[in-house]
Amino acid sequence: MTRSFAAALCLCVLSCAGPSRPTAFERLGACESGEAPPGARCGDYEVFEDRDTGAGRKIALHIVLLPALANDPRPDPVFFLAGGPGQGATKLADAIEYLLEPVRRSRDVVLVDQRGTGKSGALECDLSEGAQELDFSTPLQPEKVQACLDSYDADPRLYTTPIAMDDLDEVRDWLGYDQINLYGGSYGTRAALVYLRRHEASVRSVVIDGVAPVEMTLPLHFAQDAQQALDKLIDDCEAAAPCHDRFPQLRAHTAELFAGLERAPVRATFIHPRTGERIERAITREAVGMILTGMLYSPWLSSLGPLAIERAHAGDFQMLMPLAIANDEVGEQMSQGMFYSVMCSEDWPNISPEARREQTRDTFLGEALFESRWKPCENWPRGAVPENYREPVRSDKPVLILSGELDPVTPPRWGELVRQTLPNARHVVAQGVAHGVSPYGCVPRLLQEFFDAADAPALDVSCVDATRRPDFMLTPVATALSKEGKP
């Protein structure tokens, strides 16, 4: 009698609970060959392009799930937010699997292509179409911008960060997660902070690496921040005896290089790094400034800086060419239309001509970004953002803030600014590291420890003190670029 009653009670409990909710693993299916690491699950979730009306065109958001390796994983996954804006998160699945392997031992890792990126209705816009490779002198053609806009079925005004983060919360709910941990890098830090403000109850903890907060008007401060990074590179070369002995006039020669190109571009002949073809191009001050800025993103590439600058000062621009190609490859990974839909709506309207002149004065980069990469914002359709959008994000959620000492675009001052309104945050600055701290040294292990405990102040970060800038290259080394990205 007792046994029958117990069995009946169990059946009642199960039936009264209703059907169980599908898990993230069950919601998704097998990935296409080569799309993601073995064992990953892939799928799409549709949202309305216009979330306010809840009608009309839909976007299929592409999702990759890297399931936890544990048999009994923690209930709160890590959602990765990619940079750019315009970078597709799922394209980075292999890299994220490697980087977050310690984290994945106990929890799922989820990558979602933000609307307008990757396989989520990417807003592509190739403004270099028809131009010669490594052509530094051809100005941006406004008709190419208009051609991109004319080719879209999408409404470019509906791709701002707040809208995308509302998408992400809908995906979270559909996958069956009550709370998630956020991990964002570069622009992904802004996305994470916006999600935190709009959906705080859905957040357990946050890691932001290379902070670009809502208070930061892009690219208004880039020239000053890049100048500080270049000055630091020269300071460090002068402080290192081998570098100073090899390049005793580096500071003066850097100034002379830019002054000479300001007076007149030069025609340079060089060997294409990939094809071996001998080509001739016009080299402008703006081009060299952009190439060196891209170099400063990486401590490994920066180790070539003094040698590349000295060679260019002597009229040999060959060493700058691989750096230029590296910059182009990064740009090719971005959905350029989505980049403009975000930046032209959220940042460009807040830049006055006076602020632009003030922030670029006496910098090697000058107004190059405004006259090249950001020029389309003059005519790109702009979406609306909330009135409080540029106010600091405030939350008592645990937040780990990571900054690289040498970062030319999101230096530590921005991480410190964000920390002031996040009482349970910890700001860690890695010496000798530039844009993106997570791959270096002990940081992957720190990510695991933080996500496990969700307690930033208690985290032991002393191991980060071991990071250092790589030694400067004093002579050409063919394999130097192969070290890029290695901790």
Walk me through the domains of the chain, giving residue ranges and CATH numbers: 26-218+387-466 (3.40.50.1820), 222-324+471-483 (no CATH)
Alpha-carbon distance 154 to 152, whole Å? 5
Instruction: Report which DSSP code applies to 139.
Output: P
Phi, psi of 425 (to 5 degrees): -100, 160
Number of neighbours of residue 392 by Cβ within 10 angstroms:
15
Q: Residue 131's pLDDT is what?
A: 53
- Global pTM? 0.91
Widest CA span of the chain, in angstroms?
A: 99
User: Please, what is the end-to-end C-alpha distance for the chain in angstroms?
Assistant: 66
Q: What distance in Å separates the CA atoms of residue 59 and residue 110, rounded to the nearest whole number?
A: 18
The residue among 448, 454, 391 whose CA lies nearest residue 417 is 391
Q: Which residues of the chain have pLDDT under 70?
A: 1-21, 128-140, 328-332, 477-487
> pLDDT value at position 370?
81
Rounded to 5 degrees, what are φ and ψ at 304?
-85, -10
How far is it, in rounded angstroms, from Cα 400 to Cα 206?
A: 6
In the prediction, which pLDDT does 134 show? 60
Task: Please choose, from the candidates 396, 395, 391, 413, the residue with its C-alpha nearest in 3D space to the C-alpha of residue 404.
Answer: 413
CB within 8 Å of 477: residues ≥ 6 apart: none
Q: Evaluate the omega torsion of the peptide bond into residue 102 and state whether it is cis, within 30 degrees of 0.
A: no
Instruction: Classify residue 352 by burial, with Cβ atoms within 10 Å: 0-12, 13-18, 19+.
Output: exposed
Q: Three-state SS for 66?
A: strand
Residue 262 structure tokens? 């300001």
- For residue 334, what is the DSSP state? B
Cα atoms in the Cβ-side hemisphere of radius 13 Å centred on 17: 9
Please count the CA atoms within 13 angstroms of the CA of 291 that sit on its side-chain side: 24
Q: In what order do the strands lie in the sheet with 399-404?
A: 29-30, 41-48, 58-66, 109-112, 78-81, 180-185, 203-209, 399-404, 425-430
> Which residues are within 8 A (CB) of 151 and not within 5 positions of it... i.e. 6 or more apart?
none
Listing DSSP states for 74-122 in one string gives: -S--EEEE--TTTB-GGGGHHHHHHHTHHHHTTS-EEEE--TTSTTTT-
